[in-house]
Chain A
């Protein structure tokens, strides 16, 4: 089965440090999403790419978060500087449009900021 691969699976860091999470979408998929999951807020959309172009990053704190797709096989989500409130599980998902855009999710990156 094709999978979305996320690294790292777990990351513990100290406040103020830079964190980079990586995602390899399924080959052939043209949409990539970044979601954040916390107990309080549930699943929140952070950013959305289509054909590598950012279409929506309104859910992302712009001052510290950035998302990019340097190429079709790699999406990155960077936090600089990190804060304790960024502690969450970050999911990457990929899909295909046009179509129903059924998203396949990665296993998530669990981030803990001390």
Chain B
């Protein structure tokens, strides 16, 4: 069965600091997708990024970057020069075929990021 572990329950940083959110996953599939979602205080889950298992190239989008390493089954998320508006719960998720034909998202427990002014 698939599993996503976000060991960091809460992280606090001061504005402008860099912060990395860790994500470790388990799956028996060779084809799968990894995601990050953001849940701001308003409560809605916002899609940030999707990576497929065949593409280990790191990705950068503005202040956000993602480091995917199959060798360690990790998909870490870094925010550079954090801002107060980055304060949210961040979820890592995995989508594979472990549950049969369905592609379901299995979420990690989330990391609460607080950016202090």
Contact = CB atoms under 8 A, between A and B. Distances in A.
Contacts of A107: 42-44
Given A42-B107, A43-B91, A43-B107, A103 B47 contact: yes
Given A43-B91, A56-B99, A103 B105 contact: yes
A100 B33 contact: yes
Interface residues of B, number: 25
A10 to B, nearest CB: 11
Contact of A42 (B43, B46, B109): B109
B110 A102 contact: no
A97 B99 contact: no
Contacts of A55: 100-102
A104 B100 CA distance: 22
A67 to B, nearest CB: 14
A47 B110 CA distance: 21
A97 B35 CA distance: 16
Contacts of A103: 47, 105
By size class, the interface of chain A is 20 to 34
Given A43-B107, A55-B102, A105 B50 contact: no
A48 B102 contact: yes
Nearest to A50: B102
Interface of A: 31, 33, 42-43, 45, 48, 50, 55-56, 89, 91, 93, 97, 100-108, 110
9 contacts: A43-B91, A43-B107, A55-B100, A91-B45, A100-B52, A102-B35, A106-B44, A108-B43, A110-B43
For the complex of A and B, the 7 pairs showing the least CB-CB separation, nearest first, are A105-B45, A43-B107, A101-B103, A42-B109, A107-B44, A100-B33, A55-B102
